[in-house]
């Protein structure tokens, strides 16, 4: 039973074909530069060589057509025909307040998705394009939408309402939504499995640290607070996003630098974060290397990043009262012992203690805390695609 998982960006399409009888990936790939010169599909069927198909693609429909052709190619494909695809799971960034769970895609869901464009003008349109392309190319295959925001719909109002005039919540639905939900859900469930305890009994803090980063407080398997907000700009300092800043800085800069709406948007989303502080890179591998060589701004960027994560861990341990596990995931969380070490430094006061040796691992599941009496600290590679495929099968079977 194969599920095709699709994640569409504005000019990219990532996919995985997962056999859900054993939850193993059969093929995966990436389409780059859709609608731009130099577009290509990088396709790998497990056990075979990667192929790169270079062909002009004017839109997501053409991109998906090439992906489906690659999947059924007798030489480098993974399946005989499209009939071997049981269902398609789509990652959708914003489900607004409409979706607290994944949903079978029908007309009503499409309407709701279109209504959410206002909330995620950069992310939802390409997600919708991917769905439309699938509908055209595989009209009889069931499809499911899995939302980045859905897991956070359990956050109580006192944690999602902003201290702004309430009418803006009523009028525009301005509130905290939170993102990376599929990842926070996956790693919190996996942490419970690894610890051998029912998730209903656990309080877990999950740190998804990648290009975009967020922290989540998970109580009994439900999100009760998260650092990203109305948009993915709030919270931690990120690769290029500023995260929490005094909102008055925006007004000050607009006046001093005569910045337009678009310029402010670019400044906060693309030129800030650790890139902004270091002036070097948004990539933590570059920053760690430069910091090691003595570059003070790179070191400062890393310190600001780690301190922010530490602050959220502190805040969420206050909300949860008692923390049963701390989890690190995503590109940085999974691969940077240095970042994990800096974040946990000085957290002995809340019984979080890392073991330096155990913490040296990268990219695989491990418990890296010092002893059995301290809070378990886990590194868990995230697997959003598997989570999407699981939800897809569950809903389609129903
Ligand atoms: P996203 O999915 O949000 O694009 P990822 O979760 O793939 O991002 O994380 C990407 C980030 O992970 C990169 O910016 C890089 O800084 C970081 N990263 C990857 N490998 C390492 C490593 N070995 N050491 C430190 N950071 C790493």
Q: Tens of pLDDT along 100-144?
A: 999 999 999 999 999 989 888 888 899 999 999 999 999 999 999
CB distance 232 to ligand 1 below 6 Å: no
Q: Which of 147, 162, 190 is the last residue of a domain?
A: 147
Which of 93, 285, 289, 302 has most ligand 1 atoms within 8 Å of CB, for mutation?
Answer: 285
Say if residue 138 is in the same domain as residue 237. no
Residues with a known catalytic role: 148
11 CB-contact burial (10 Å; exposed 0-12 / middle 13-18 / buried 19+): middle
CB-based contact 287:302 (threshold 8 Å) = yes
CA–centroid distance, 209 to ligand 1, in Å, is: 8
- Looking at residue 304, which CATH number applies to its domain? 3.30.420.40
Q: Does the pLDDT value for residue 9 go beyond 90?
A: no
Which of 91, 284, 287, 309 has most ligand 1 atoms within 8 Å of CB, for mutation?
Answer: 284
Residue 82 lies in a domain: yes
Residue 48 lies in a domain: yes
Residue 270 lies in a domain: yes
Say if residue 241 is in the same domain as residue 374. yes
Q: What angle do CA 131, 136, 140 make, to 5 degrees?
A: 90
Residue of the CA atom closest to atom 19 of ligand 1: 331
CB distance 291 to ligand 1 below 6 Å: no
Predicted model pTM = 0.95
CB-based contact 215:226 (threshold 8 Å) = yes
Report the alpha-carbon distance of residue 128 to residue 113 in Å, rounded. 7
Report the alpha-carbon distance of residue 129 to residue 90 in Å, rounded. 11
DSSP secondary structure string for all residues of 343-382: HHTTGGGGT--B-TTGGG--SS-EE-BS-TTSPPEEE---
Say if residue 136 is in the same domain as residue 240. no
Residue 67 lies in a domain: yes
Q: Tens of pLDDT along 256-314?
A: 999 999 999 999 999 999 999 999 999 999 999 999 999 999 999 999 999 999 999 99
Q: Say which residue the tokens 């956050």 belong to.
A: 155
**Structural domain that includes position 301:** 198-384
Say if residue 296 is in the same domain as residue 230. yes
With residue 89 as reference, give the H or E element that holds it: strand 85-92
Residue 209 lies in a domain: yes
Q: Which of 85, 116, 147 is the last residue of a domain?
A: 147
Residue 157 lies in a domain: no
CA–centroid distance, 157 to ligand 1, in Å, is: 32
Q: Which of 128, 147, 166 is the last residue of a domain?
A: 147
Mean pLDDT over residues 317-325, rounded? 96
> What is the percent of the chain with per-residue pLDDT over 70, rounded to a whole number?
100
Say if residue 204 is in the same domain as residue 137. no
The structural domain count of the chain equals 2
């Amino acid at each position: 039973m194969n599920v095709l998982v699709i994640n569409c960006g504005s000019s990219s399409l990532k996919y995985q074909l997962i056999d859900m009888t054993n939850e193993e990936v059969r093929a995966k790939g990436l389409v780059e530069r859709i609608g731009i010169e130099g577009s290509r599909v990088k396709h790998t069927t497990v056990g075979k060589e990667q192929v790169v198909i270079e062909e002009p693609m004017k839109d997501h429909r053409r991109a998906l057509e090439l992906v489906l052709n690659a999947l059924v190619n007798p030489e480098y494909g993974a399946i005989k025909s499209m009939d071997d695809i049981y269902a398609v799971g789509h990652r959708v960034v914003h489900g607004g307040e409409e979706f607290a769970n994944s949903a079978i895609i029908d007309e009503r869901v499409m309407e709701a998705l279109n209504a959410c464009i206002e909330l995620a003008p950069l992310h939802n349109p390409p997600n919708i394009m991917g769905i439309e392309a699938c509908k055209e190319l595989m009209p009889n295959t069931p499809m499911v939408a899995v939302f980045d925001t859905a897991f956070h719909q359990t956050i109580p109002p006192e944690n999602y309402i902003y201290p702004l005039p309430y009418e803006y919540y009523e009028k525009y639905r301005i509130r905290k939504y939170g993102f990376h939900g599929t990842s926070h859900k996956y790693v919190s469930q996996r942490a419970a499995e690894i610890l051998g305890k029912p998730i209903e009994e656990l309080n877990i803090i999950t740190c998804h640290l990648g290009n975009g980063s967020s922290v989540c407080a998970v109580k009994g398997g439900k999100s009760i607070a998260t650092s990203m907000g109305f948009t993915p700009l709030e919270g931690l300092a990120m690769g290029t996003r500023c995260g929490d800043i005094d909102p008055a800085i925006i007004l000050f800069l607009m006046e001093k630098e005569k910045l337009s709406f678009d310029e402010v948007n670019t400044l906060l989303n693309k030129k800030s974060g650790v890139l902004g502080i270091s002036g070097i890179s948004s990539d933590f591998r570059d920053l760690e290397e430069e910091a090691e060589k003595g570059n003070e701004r790179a070191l400062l960027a890393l310190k600001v990043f780690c301190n922010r994560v530490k602050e959220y861990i502190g805040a969420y341990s206050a909300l949860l009262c008692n923390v049963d596990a701390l989890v690190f995931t995503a590109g940085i969380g999974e691969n940077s012992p240095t970042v994990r070490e800096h974040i946990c430094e000085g957290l002995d006061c809340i019984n979080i203690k890392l073991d330096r040796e155990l913490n040296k691992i990268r990219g695989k599941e491990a418990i890296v805390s010092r002893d059995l009496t301290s809070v378990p600290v886990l590194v868990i590679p995230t697997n959003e695609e598997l989570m999407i495929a699981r939800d897809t099968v569950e809903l389609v079977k129903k």
